[in-house]
Amino acid sequence: MAPHAESPQPASNGTTAFFAPAPAQAELFTVNSPNVAYTDNEILSKYTYRTTDITKSDDGKLVATPRQTLYDFKVERKVPKVGVMLVGWGGNNGSTVTAGILANRRGLKWDTREGEHESNYYGSLMMASTVKLGIDSKTGNEINIPFHQLLPMAHPNDFVLGGWDISGLNMAESMDRAQVLEPTLKNQVRKEMANMKPLPSIYYPDFIAANQTDRADNLLAGDKACDAHVEQIRTDIRNFKSVNGLDKVIVLWTANTERFADIIEGVNDTAANLLQAIKNGHEEVSPSTVFAVASILEGAPFINGSPQNTFVPGAIELADQHKAYIGGDDFKSGQTKMKSALVDFLINAGIKLTSIASYNHLGNNDGKNLSSQRQFRSKEISKSNVVDDMVAANTQLYKEGEHPDHCVVIKYMPAVGDNKRALDEYYAEIFMGGHQTISIFNVCEDSLLASPLIIDLVLVTEMMTRVQWREHAEATENQAEVKEYNNFHSVLSVLSYMLKAPLTPPGTPVVNSLAKQRAALTNVFRACVGLEPESDMTLEHKLF
């Protein structure tokens, strides 16, 4: 895609940023079906969801009953002007994704010792992968299209960027401190980024490592939760939206990992108790939860990219009450993404994993923060639970209560900087008492893997704000029987592909299988335009 024409606007104090207006992108395809209709503003579709109900008969035999439900979907076609506010904007991820979007917007190229490189969105599921649309009726070949063109989606080149940080460095200085990007690239975006400065953030020393104190020079007054902090964040979101003429603002936490907050009855277990706890300045209300509450009250979707339990029960209930979207937790970028794919493959192949040992060392500020035990414990939990549903699904390999040994170690080694070293050993039982050991050494350029996930999370979240559904009911003389359209549940489990510890609506299962997560996202998007899931049975070839 050609770079968009640049229209700089003044950018300072986190309220404005450079924005490149672009014409609306034409939709790549239309669906020729009586179940799909297009208006100037909407795509309307009927979709038959097919599943299988399982019951157990009196003699203990399982009975499988196919079931189908007809749904109506409604998708807004107009792509809004989207603002993205990052909490921790001045960190490695925030500065890297900002520079990357600026570079892509301008189509920049830069020299390295390996030769010339050009801007791209590699690592983004939405922007750099494709999905199968169908089969060419003449040749029988698969037709694959960019994922982001399944639906009329926003483009990251058009994001307006802003946010908060406990550090007062401008974004150019933050980019230098991060030591992620090539100097020849940094020099081309430096002027724009020097005009971007994060808004003051909140800082509760008990929730992040003490070694972060030297960065904390851009703070709102107060070291515990309070109504004033919630109101200031709401005001910042409101001002950012107004000053930049935005249709929507999405807030994403990419700041330091916090310690886990204790779940306390009467404090953070309900929405009302959580709001009162903030008013009272309770010590178990974290900064990320305050940001989540402010975003929910302001109607801005909030995504948690770190492993702590930001979404305490009271925050989830508050989001549900306000019909506000939330998603989390913890970016799934390098080692954990490999683990969720490999474990899924091995267990589905009938190989019994008995031990998983994961070791990491990294030298960026994330590693420095995680060198504190309480913050590491948050990360350990998010990285350790990613195999649970896959193990539970295979009762041929694992008896009830049986689980592979699973150990996660993270060490801070400043010399390696943002180039995290991840070493994994998978030990498994195979046929007739044999064993298989798989060892992986993975060098993950941490922020260059996480930044595309920020883009994906924003793109998918924004898209879901324009999708509504209802169970289909034919119009009758009694129009009251026709159901109203609803939004998706406030907890966006459709974001799971990008997150280590996916948040799901209360009472629903967590899915960590990478293949299932991608299939769910793909098929939700296909349903929105009235297309069935691709079965991959290829019967059109086998039955000729």
Q: What pTM, to 2 d.p., does this model score?
A: 0.91
Within a domain: residue 535?
A: no
Residues 205 and 310 in one domain: yes
Q: What are 405's strand-pairing partners?
A: 355
Residues 306 and 354 in one domain: no
Of the residues 445, 469, 500, the one at which a domain ends = 445
Q: What are 326's strand-pairing partners?
A: 302, 491
Within a domain: residue 15?
A: no
Of the residues 412, 445, 478, the one at which a domain ends = 445
Within a domain: residue 132?
A: yes
Q: Which domain holds residue 408?
A: 335-445
Of the residues 423, 445, 467, the one at which a domain ends = 445
Residues 405 and 457 in one domain: no
Confidence (pLDDT) at 388: 86
Within a domain: residue 35?
A: no
Residues 473 and 521 in one domain: yes
Residues 117 and 165 in one domain: yes
Residues 341 and 289 in one domain: no
Which residues are the active-site residues?
A: 330, 379, 420, 500
Within a domain: residue 59?
A: no
Within a domain: residue 57?
A: no
Residues 461 and 508 in one domain: yes
147-158 tens-digit pLDDT: 999 999 999 999
Confidence (pLDDT) at 334: 81
Residues 311 and 348 in one domain: no
Taking the C-alpha atoms of residue 279 and residue 440, their distance in angstroms, rounded to an integer, is 49
Residues 486 and 512 in one domain: yes
Confidence (pLDDT) at 212: 85
Asked if residues 126 and 455 have their Cβ atoms less than 8 Å apart, the reply is: yes
Which residue ranges of the chain lie beneath pLDDT 70? Answer: 1-26, 370, 372, 376, 378-384, 474-482, 543-544
Closest CA to 259 of 210, 296, 293, 332: 210
CATH of the domain at 487: 3.40.50.720
Asked if residues 183 and 134 have their Cβ atoms less than 8 Å apart, the reply is: no
Residues 98 and 188 in one domain: yes
Number of domains in the chain: 2
CATH of the domain at 405: 3.30.360.10
Tell me whether strands 248-253 and 82-87 are parallel, antiparallel or unpaired: parallel
Residues 243 and 95 in one domain: yes
Within a domain: residue 24?
A: no
Q: Return the half-sphere exposure (C-beta side, CA atoms, 13 A cut-off) of residue 506.
A: 10
E strand map for 418-492: 419-429, 435-445, 467-471, 486-487
Residues 436 and 297 in one domain: no
Within a domain: residue 232?
A: yes
374-419 tens-digit pLDDT: 776 766 666 667 888 899 899 999 998 899 999 988 898 999 888 8
Confidence (pLDDT) at 361: 87
